[in-house]
Chains A and B, each alone.
Chain A
């Protein structure tokens, strides 16, 4: 019998080995796959087990965390949610994250290795450092000015510091409160579907993700291309342009909104926004030259990140002469985000050098010690310094005695350019009002701010819509806020 008892014991030992081998398979071999299974709630539970780090504006948090007592414990709160929504984005237990919440998620949620001096320790202890903070470049005064200016209208404002690329204001209107998307439950789902069903598209970040025909504001790019290429050497020389201007190769006549554009110089064309002159100059520069110039300003670039990705602004690379003429005045297929047009103004203001816009100044650990600085880098030279100086003069004239007088600020030098962009099938849509500008306090060498404003005000009477009427006052308010705070 002893022999058979031994066999039984061996059999039991075999069972034990089978258990241990299978256990090693489940706990080591399959462990990662189980962890990655979308039905496994553990990563989410762990993610929300600690309060999320904050997003700062002017050094003060515009976000917070609330202990919900639920399985996914900490939910996001927002102070002034609608005001900062285009900057912060949302952080939702159900719908994920967007914008800075998404771009800096690793720091905010505490998973970034840079948050700990001893990453290995946290790895071993299975713990996690507290979530870090993300300090933005946004200035609350400018943000508020832009938001107040757009109140009740659809549109967007983007403001940057020309020398550095810091994004000082980023507003989209109408906006929404991202707090409505925090947490779980039916209320959040209802808010999500309501926001998505809203025809006004409040969750659309118009400053970064919507592209509009830039209209006459694009004439700054055309003028820069012409000066750089030597097509125009004297901005004050008459250009021998008929009014209306027949588009090359067609019988279509391009008119002007105002009078006095016949034979006007480029300076006058910018000042009074002459379609005919700038279209003709664009054709003279040629497709190749115009495409290159647009590209130097940032058009046709897919990869711009601030750190959230920015929609591609477009300037067609394959066009007939008449299409080129229309594109040169910001029509046809030319489209731009408000941020892109702010970059155009900023390049002029910064002597031709285009700084890459960025939104996160620095990320810090919970205790304030730095994790990373926002990368300040150049996107290259958009135009020659001399061209930039010439364009600055032309833009100042637009505000002092041209189409953009509503942007003038006493005690400051302001350059601007209006735009009224046709769009829709057969230009049937209500035109968009544009204004791009920059400003410097008198006595300072460099402009402190460049702004782009677009108002797509569907409710306004069509005749009233113009860059000067609808957009310039908002730009002025934003620039005043910029100059007032330094």
Chain B
């Protein structure tokens, strides 16, 4: 309904000059206190229900979270005083809940404790957040580094090809006992590149090109060529690495940003068609993908064959067991899902122990985060900023949809990390940087305009 009304509605006028817009830093601090409180209570609850006593890590967890939240808040207060007050508390709450869920799963997999690592990675993420907010005074600076970011992004994505595959996918770099996923970082760099390139060539993309038929015009190859090539290379590399979730994400990011820049819905349709063909080809020639699609079409096939439930079936059982209200933190059996219960399938634990109510709340938090990102994009005045905000918000939205849709059987499963919730260092760090950029963008959007706009 909203899409239809939007179609007929006049383009909304740019928001009024935000002169004297309230800073809302107090609101942010209050919300942060709430987010920290919920997370710490969750931490205590897990300890009490699973072991019967307050967990020994409680003090460390609480102080760590408080310190991180305060530091981040100070950075925002000092360096981005007009930033959207919801972004940081949502990130802290999601990160805190992720730590609670991982701690809870650690209890049932005693040989494989990861909550401590995750806490360290979160600390690193917050540190980078603080650094980014403090050092990046104006997001438009990033525009200058468009080609550097695409070069770094592509090389980052290429590196894992030379590292051994883990669980069938070449997406990790293992180094000195640590492993991380360069593709996670590449998505930010690629968003920066797309935004910068499309902002620079927007007019050419929107208005030139030969007319094919009706309203469909061939985009000028000179302008479209390079960006299409970059996109094809990145998706090609990801397919080689069998990181299908991320290639789907990059595809969606490209299409959304191209659409936002040009407004050409016809090309989106053609893009979707091509993607469909590509997906069909991959599904046919890649046994790995083929089995994922079969699992999606019939998650209980392995049970009927007498081989016991597969991972997706176990995930559905976990969600089903949660029902409306959930079993309560610590009372579920989502460890039955087996490996990846803390990363790809962390939502199943949330679904089983917090129920539909809890999970819907978590998804709405993501929705709010994405919405605030789009809002920053709407309020910004420079095309680069708008595109970047749209791109970053879309990354979060697409990632949440792909992974949540995958584990609940809505779409075929592709391995991806739930932003902030899932165990995984590179993911947490990347998402903190995304939030830092959104904070920076929203600060620019809401900052009162100087009397005279400096000429671009």
Measuring CB to CB, which residues of chain A are less than 8 angstroms from any residue of chain B?
A: 1-16, 18-20, 22-24, 26-28, 30-35, 37-42, 45, 126
> Contact: A23 with B360, CB < 8 Å?
yes
Kindly state whether residue B435 has any CB partner on chain A within 8 Å. no
> Contact: A26 with B320, CB < 8 Å?
yes
Pairs A–B under 8 Å by Cβ, sample size 25: A1-B260, A1-B263, A2-B14, A3-B12, A5-B260, A6-B6, A8-B390, A9-B371, A10-B6, A13-B371, A14-B3, A19-B404, A23-B356, A23-B359, A23-B408, A26-B316, A26-B408, A27-B320, A27-B322, A27-B355, A34-B319, A35-B317, A39-B309, A40-B317, A41-B333
Distance, CA A5 to CA B371, complexed state (A): 11
Closest to B359 in A: A23
Distance, CA A242 to CA B393, complexed state (A): 107
What's the least CB distance linking A239 to chain B, in Å? 66
Kindly state whether residue B100 has any CB partner on chain A within 8 Å. no
Distance, CA A310 to CA B132, complexed state (A): 78
> Contact: A39 with B303, CB < 8 Å?
yes
Closest to B9 in A: A3
Kindly state whether residue B409 has any CB partner on chain A within 8 Å. yes
> Contact: B14 with A126, CB < 8 Å?
no
Question: Chain B residues near A1 (CB, 8 Å)?
Answer: 202, 260-261, 263, 383, 386-387
Kindly state whether residue B121 has any CB partner on chain A within 8 Å. no
> Contact: B319 with A126, CB < 8 Å?
no
Question: Chain A residues near B303 (CB, 8 Å)?
Answer: 37-39
Question: Chain A residues near B374 (CB, 8 Å)?
Answer: 5-6, 8-9, 12
> Contact: B317 with A10, CB < 8 Å?
no
> Contact: A20 with B363, CB < 8 Å?
yes
Give the residues from 244 to 286 in chain B that come closer than 8 angstroms, CB to CB, to chain A: 256, 259-261, 263
User: Residue-by-residue, is B357-383 near A (CB-CB < 8 Å gives 1, otherwise 0)?
Assistant: 001100110110011001001100001
> Contact: A2 with B11, CB < 8 Å?
yes
Distance, CA A19 to CA B356, complexed state (A): 11
> Contact: B321 with A42, CB < 8 Å?
yes
Q: A37-B300, A41-B333 are in contact. Are A28 and B377 (CB under 8 A)?
A: no
> Contact: B360 with A20, CB < 8 Å?
yes
Question: Chain A residues near B259 (CB, 8 Å)?
Answer: 4, 7-8
> Contact: B367 with A13, CB < 8 Å?
yes
Kindly state whether residue B183 has any CB partner on chain A within 8 Å. no
> Contact: A19 with B263, CB < 8 Å?
no
> Contact: B356 with A8, CB < 8 Å?
no
Distance, CA A423 to CA B447, complexed state (A): 103
Q: Spot the interface stretch: B84-92, B185-193, B224-232, B323-331.
A: B323-331
What's the least CB distance linking B434 to chain A, in Å? 15
What's the least CB distance linking B191 to chain A, in Å? 13
Q: Which of A18, A24, A31 contacts B405 (CB 8 A)?
A: A18
Closest to B326 in A: A126
Question: Chain A residues near B12 (CB, 8 Å)?
Answer: 2-3, 6
Distance, CA A13 to CA B400, complexed state (A): 12
A interface, over-half SS: helix
Kindly state whether residue B313 has any CB partner on chain A within 8 Å. yes
Distance, CA A10 to CA B374, complexed state (A): 10
Closest to B375 in A: A9
> Contact: A12 with B397, CB < 8 Å?
yes
> Contact: A126 with B405, CB < 8 Å?
no
Distance, CA A34 to CA B320, complexed state (A): 6
For A5, A24, A30, the residue with the greatest tally of chain B CB atoms inside 10 Å of its CB is: A5
Distance, CA A19 to CA B408, complexed state (A): 8
Distance, CA A27 to CA B336, complexed state (A): 17
> Contact: A22 with B386, CB < 8 Å?
no
Question: Chain A residues near B9 (CB, 8 Å)?
Answer: 3
> Contact: A22 with B408, CB < 8 Å?
yes
Distance, CA A19 to CA B361, complexed state (A): 12
Question: Chain A residues near B180 (CB, 8 Å)?
Answer: none
Question: Chain A residues near B355 (CB, 8 Å)?
Answer: 27
Q: A12-B394, A23-B351, A126-B331 are in contact. Are A37 and B322 (CB under 8 A)?
A: no
For A10, A15, A26, the residue with the greatest tally of chain B CB atoms inside 10 Å of its CB is: A26
Closest to B6 in A: A6
Distance, CA A9 to CA B390, complexed state (A): 8
> Contact: A37 with B377, CB < 8 Å?
no
Kindly state whether residue B34 has any CB partner on chain A within 8 Å. no
Closest to A30 in B: B320
What's the least CB distance linking A43 to chain B, in Å? 9
For B308, B313, B317, B398, the residue with the greatest tally of chain A CB atoms inside 10 Å of its CB is: B317
Closest to A18 in B: B410
Kindly state whether residue B147 has any CB partner on chain A within 8 Å. no
Question: Chain B residues near A26 (CB, 8 Å)?
Answer: 316, 319-320, 351, 408-409
Kindly state whether residue B167 has any CB partner on chain A within 8 Å. no
> Contact: B260 with A8, CB < 8 Å?
yes
For A3, A39, A126, the residue with the greatest tally of chain B CB atoms inside 10 Å of its CB is: A39
Q: A1-B261, A2-B14, A23-B356 are in contact. Are A34 and B378 (CB under 8 A)?
A: no
Question: Chain B residues near A37 (CB, 8 Å)?
Answer: 300, 303, 309, 313, 317
Distance, CA A368 to CA B11, complexed state (A): 74
Distance, CA A4 to CA B408, complexed state (A): 30
Distance, CA A1 to CA B393, complexed state (A): 15
Q: A14-B3, A27-B356, A30-B316 are in contact. Are A19 and B363 (CB under 8 A)?
A: yes
Question: Chain B residues near A7 (CB, 8 Å)?
Answer: 3, 6, 259
Distance, CA A62 to CA B410, complexed state (A): 51
Q: Which of B316, B333, B377, B393 contacts A45 (CB 8 A)?
A: B333
> Contact: B260 with A22, CB < 8 Å?
no
What's the least CB distance linking B363 to chain A, in Å? 6
Question: Chain B residues near A40 (CB, 8 Å)?
Answer: 309, 317, 320-321
Distance, CA A189 to CA B259, complexed state (A): 63
Distance, CA A42 to CA B334, complexed state (A): 9
> Contact: B401 with A15, CB < 8 Å?
yes
What's the least CB distance linking A16 to chain B, in Å? 5
